[in-house]
Amino acid sequence: MAPRGLTRRDLLKNSGAAIGGFAVTGALLEPGEARAALACDGNCYPPADEAERQRYSYFQKQLPGLKYYQDRGGFLAASYPPLEPDEMRVTFMGSTIPPTRRAQQMMSIFVEVGWDPVRKRAKDQFVFDCGAGVVANYGAMDVGFGRMDKIFLTHLHGDHLSDVTHIYCFGPASDRLSPLYIWGPGPSGVPNPKPPHQLYDDGTKAYCSHLRDALRWHTESFSFQPTTYAAPYPTPSGIREKWGLPLTPAAVSDDPWGDSYAMVPIELDWSKVGGIAYDNKETGVKITHFPVIHCRKGSIAYKLEWNGLSMIFSGDTKPERISIEQAKDAGRGVTVFVHEMVVPAEIWAMQAQHLPRPLPRGANQLWDDSVDRAITVQDSSHTPPGAFGYLLSQIDPRPQLTVATHFPVSDDTVDCAMRSVRKHVPDIGNLGEQLTFSFDGMVISAYGGSRKVTQRRAEVLDFGSLPVPQIYGAESVPKYHFENGLPDPYAQIDRAQEVQAGEQTYCRSGY
pLDDT tens track for 369-391: 999 999 999 999 999 999 999 99
By DSSP bridging, strand 87-94 and strand 442-447 are antiparallel
Task: Please tell me the predicted confidence (pLDDT) of residue 113.
Answer: 98
Confidence band for 397, pLDDT divided at 50, 70 and 90 = very high
Q: What pLDDT band is residue 170 in, cutting at 50, 70 and 90?
A: very high
Are the CB atoms for 21 and 28 separated by under 8 Å?
Answer: yes
Could you give the angle at which helices 411-422 and 385-393 cross, rounded to 10 degrees? 40
pTM of the model: 0.91
Residue 401, amino acid? L
Q: What is the mean pLDDT of residues 14-41?
A: 38
At 14 the pLDDT is 36
Q: How many residues does the chain have?
A: 511
Please, are residues 471 and 121 in contact by the beta-carbon 8 Å criterion?
A: no
Beta-carbon count within 10 A of 410 CB: 22
Contact 168, 155 (CB under 8 A): no
What is the percentage of the chain residues whose pLDDT exceeds 90?
78
Arithmetic mean of pLDDT, 329-349: 95
Angle at 182 between CA 179 and CA 188, to 5 degrees: 150
pLDDT of residue 39: 59
Residues 350-365, mean pLDDT to the nearest whole number: 89
Q: What is the DSSP string of 195-250?
A: TT-PBP--SHHHHHHHHHHHTHHHHHHTTTS--SBSSPPPPHHHHHHHHT-SS---
Give the H/E segment covering residue 140.
Answer: helix 134-140
Mean pLDDT of 407-420: 93
- For residue 130, how many other CB atoms are within 10 A of its CB? 30
* pLDDT confidence band for 234 (50 / 70 / 90): very high
What average pLDDT does the chain have? 90
For the cut 90, the answer to whether the pLDDT of residue 44 exceeds it is no
d(C-alpha 184, C-alpha 179), whole Å: 16
The enclosing H or E element of 135 equals helix 134-140
Tell me: pLDDT of 19 over 50.
no
252-267 mean pLDDT: 97
Q: How remote is the C-alpha of 141 from its chain's centroid? A: 16
User: What does DSSP assign to residue 378?
Assistant: H
pLDDT at 395 over 70: yes
Closest CA to 446 of 383, 404, 490, 403: 403
- The pLDDT tens digits of the residues spanning 172-185 come to 999 999 999 999 99
Partners of residue 27 on adjacent β-strands? 24
Beta strands in 39-195 (DSSP E): 65-67, 69-71, 76-78, 87-94, 108-113, 124-128, 150-152, 180-185
Distances (CA, A) of 273 to 7, 212, 268, 441: 41, 30, 11, 31
Q: Enumerate residues 6+ apart whose C-beta is below 8 A from 463.
A: none
Q: What is the mean pLDDT of residues 461-477?
A: 90
Q: Rounded to whole angstroms, how far apart are CA atoms 208 and 210?
A: 6
CATH topology of domain 42-342+382-459: Metallo-beta-lactamase; Chain A (3.60.15)
d(CA 383, CA 371): 16
Least confident piece of the model among 99-103, 115-119, 220-224, 308-312: 99-103
Axis crossing angle, helix 8-19 with helix 385-393, rounded to the nearest 10: 40
Side-chain-facing half-sphere of 286: CA atoms under 13 Å = 11
In this prediction, residues 310-321 reach a mean pLDDT of 98
Give residues with Cβ within 8 angstroms of 444, minimum separation 6.
89, 90, 91, 336, 401, 403, 453, 454, 455, 456
User: Is there a contact between 181 and 266 (Cβ–Cβ < 8 Å)?
Assistant: yes
Using DSSP bridges, classify how beta strands 309-313 and 336-340 pair: parallel, antiparallel or unpaired: parallel
Q: What is the pLDDT of residue 414?
A: 94
pLDDT tens-digit series, residues 189-231: 999 999 999 999 999 999 999 999 999 999 999 999 999 999 9
Strands 108-113 and 87-94, sheet pairing:
antiparallel
Instruction: Say if residues 286 and 292 touch (Cβ distance below 8 Å).
Output: no
Is the omega angle on the peptide bond into residue 408 within 30 degrees of 0, that is, cis?
A: no
Do the bridges between strand 150-152 and strand 124-128 make them parallel or antiparallel, or are there none, so unpaired? Answer: parallel
Strand partners, 287: 278, 304
Min mean pLDDT across 2-16, 260-274, 319-333, 402-416 is at: 2-16
Tell me the pLDDT band of 38, cut-offs 50, 70 and 90.
low
Whether 68 contacts 79, CB under 8 Å: yes
Q: Is 356 left (phi over 0), alpha (psi -120 to 50) or beta?
A: alpha
Separation CA 237–CA 231 (nearest Å): 17
pLDDT digits (tens, 9 = 90+) for 496-505: 999 999 999 9
Instruction: Give buried/exposed letters for 151-160 (b at 16+ CB in 10 A, else e).
Output: bbbbbbbebb
Closest CA to 113 of 335, 408, 333: 335
For residues 386 and 19, the answer to whether their CB atoms sit within 8 Å is: yes
User: How many Å apart are CA 408 and CA 417, to the nearest integer?
Assistant: 11
> What pLDDT does residue 219 have?
98
Instruction: Specify the amino acid at residue 152.
Output: F
Q: What percentage of the chain has pLDDT greater than the value 70?
A: 92
Q: Which of 94, 64, 96 is nearest to 81 (CA)?
A: 64
Which residues, including other chains, have CB under 8 Å from residue 273's CB and lie 6 or more apart? 290, 291, 322
Quote the pLDDT of residue 37. 43
